[in-house]
Amino acid sequence: MGRSPCCAKVGLNRGAWTAQEDRILVDYIRAHGEGGWRNLPKKAGLKRCGKSCRLRWLNYLRPDIKRGNITADEEELIIRLHNLLGNRWSLIAGRLPGRTDNEIKNYWNTIVSKKVKHQPKPSKETKLTKSKVIAMSRPATQVVRTKALKCSRVLFLNPPQARPQVMQQQQHHQADTDPATQTNAMPVVKSKNADGKVPCLSGGEDHLATDFDFSEIDLSEFLNSDLSDKFRCFDGCNYGSYNNTSLTSNSTSEQAMMFSEEMVQSWNLGGCAQDQANVGSNVQSLSPLLDCNKGEWLASGVI
DNA sequence: AAAGAATTCAACCGCAATTCA
DNA sequence: CTGAATTGCGGTTGAATTCTT
């Protein structure tokens, strides 16, 4: 016996939604909340398939939908995320508040893919960030992952130990409460190999930042390679605590984002320009890959 | 101004993943 | 544990709109 259809399609409206249908759907969801899509049309009095109602709500009627053109910053982020994640539109949309997966998918298919296709390879003189170079110089078809993979462990870069000059700045600004100028305590995250045999990506415990060249890591390639399975990630409960953020295996993706962003800010206080660029690029590249679902992490390419 | 071509994007479809009984 | 029901996702379609000739 095959799967039963999501709804009886006979007698249902199809095609573009009318203003009246929109109003009925919005009113119903305001009163009863989201979910129960299968029975929603009958209860709300709509001659629509439940799936259609869900799609209409998520892609168009939701109050937090952002209207207007995609900005240049958003486009850059889309390109970078697509380079890392492939056509996983919902994950990409999750990093662009107010944008829907459908919108981003359409935008990519109509605008960005053409731009990337016709993008000339950057010359040595062209000043581009590492992420831009990665995004623009690779074919869009390199990463093809149609579904997120669930993993039980997560790859995480071992942050460098605090540099002396950063520690001084940090003490200097300790009483500063202005968020625009506030500096944060350096994160101290120790790698811990469970059996001591599997190498940690950072190169081992107490590895100094100066000994570790972030520029040698191409995170997206790493995550998509067989190597990713051979490296051990942090297996302790606590990946690090920092300011008010503690990153654990139970952290939400928002906390992971905040954590990585704070680390970038903090690292950017010290080190040479190249260090800052490399660290920022790698950590920011990593954060979109992190997602949390009931304590289990999702990461592209790491199983 | 009109016709055809090209583009855009909302909506649909089928399948996979997840939840539920 | 199993199978059905439900939800979510990405690919595709086609009507509406815009552009070009």
Q: What's the Å distance between residue A10 CA and nucleotide C15 C1'?
A: 21
Nearest to A59 by CA among A107, A20, A11: A107
Q: A57 falls in which pLDDT band (50, 70, 90)?
A: very high
Give residue A9's pLDDT: 61
Between A39 and A204, residue with greater pLDDT: A39
Between A168 and A60, residue with greater pLDDT: A60
A50 touches strand C (CB under 7 A): yes
A99 touches strand B (CB under 7 A): no
Q: Which nucleotide is nearest to A147 (CA to C1')?
A: C9
Return positions of chain C under 7 A from a protein CB.
4-12, 15-16
Average pLDDT, rounded, for chain A = 52
Give residue A300's pLDDT: 29
A17 touches strand B (CB under 7 A): yes
A260 touches strand B (CB under 7 A): no
A37 touches strand B (CB under 7 A): no
Give residue A43's pLDDT: 87
**Cα dist from A257 to A54, A156, A221, A252, whole Å:** 28, 13, 21, 9
Distance between start and end Cα atoms, chain A: 33
Q: Which nucleotide is nearest to A88 (CA to C1')?
A: C10
Give residue A8's pLDDT: 55
Between A163 and A277, residue with greater pLDDT: A277
Q: What's the Å distance between residue A130 CA and nucleotide C15 C1'?
A: 41
Q: Is the pLDDT of residue A182 over 60?
A: no
Q: What's the Å distance between residue A68 CA and nucleotide C12 C1'?
A: 25
Measured CA to CA, the distance from residue A104 to residue A96 in angstroms comes to 9
Residue type, A113: S
Q: Is the pLDDT of residue A46 over 80?
A: yes
Give residue A275's pLDDT: 34
Measured CA to CA, the distance from residue A153 to residue A75 in angstroms comes to 30
Helix residue spans in chain A (DSSP H): 19-32, 40-44, 50-56, 72-85, 89-94, 101-107, 113-117, 130-137, 164-172, 219-223, 253-267, 273-286
The mean pLDDT of A244-258, rounded to a whole number, is 44
Q: A39 falls in which pLDDT band (50, 70, 90)?
A: confident
Residue lying closest to nucleotide B10, CA to C1': A16
A296 touches strand C (CB under 7 A): no
Chain A 69..128 CB hits on strand C (< 7 A): 87-91, 101-102, 105-106, 109
Q: What's the Å distance between residue A236 CA and nucleotide B12 C1'?
A: 46
Q: Is A248 helix (H, G, I), strand (E, B) or coil?
A: strand
Q: What's the Å distance between residue A3 CA and nucleotide B17 C1'?
A: 15
Q: A272 falls in which pLDDT band (50, 70, 90)?
A: very low
Q: Is the pLDDT of residue A78 over 60?
A: yes
Residue type, A75: E
Measured CA to CA, the distance from residue A146 to residue A144 in angstroms comes to 6
Q: Is the pLDDT of residue A113 over 50?
A: yes
Determine whether A248 is exposed, middle or buried from the number of CB atoms within 10 Å of its CB (0-12, 13-18, 19+).
middle
A162 touches strand B (CB under 7 A): no
Structural domains in chain A, sorted by start? 1-63 (1.10.10.60), 72-137 (1.10.10.60), 164-298 (no CATH)
Nearest to A27 by CA among A14, A10, A46, A55: A46
Q: What's the Å distance between residue A290 CA and nucleotide C16 C1'?
A: 39
Nearest to A79 by CA among A146, A136, A120, A145: A136
List the single range of A20-29, A90-99, A194-203, A282-291 with lowest mean pLDDT: A194-203
A214 touches strand C (CB under 7 A): no
Residue lying closest to nucleotide B16, CA to C1': A147
User: Of the ranges A65-79, A96-110, A210-224, which is most confident?
Assistant: A96-110
Q: Is the pLDDT of residue A172 over 80?
A: no
Q: Is the pLDDT of residue A75 over 70?
A: yes
Q: Is the pLDDT of residue A184 over 50?
A: no
Structural tokens at position A276: 């800052």
Give residue A102's pLDDT: 92
The mean pLDDT of A23-34, rounded to a whole number, is 89
**Cα dist from A269 to A163, A183, A210, A263, A274, whole Å:** 10, 8, 15, 10, 13
Give residue A104's pLDDT: 92
Beta bridge partners of A296: A293
The per-residue pLDDT for range A205-242, each reduced to its tens digit, is 222 222 223 333 344 443 443 333 322 222 222 233 33
List the single range of A13-27, A111-125, A269-283 with lowest mean pLDDT: A269-283
Q: A161 falls in which pLDDT band (50, 70, 90)?
A: very low
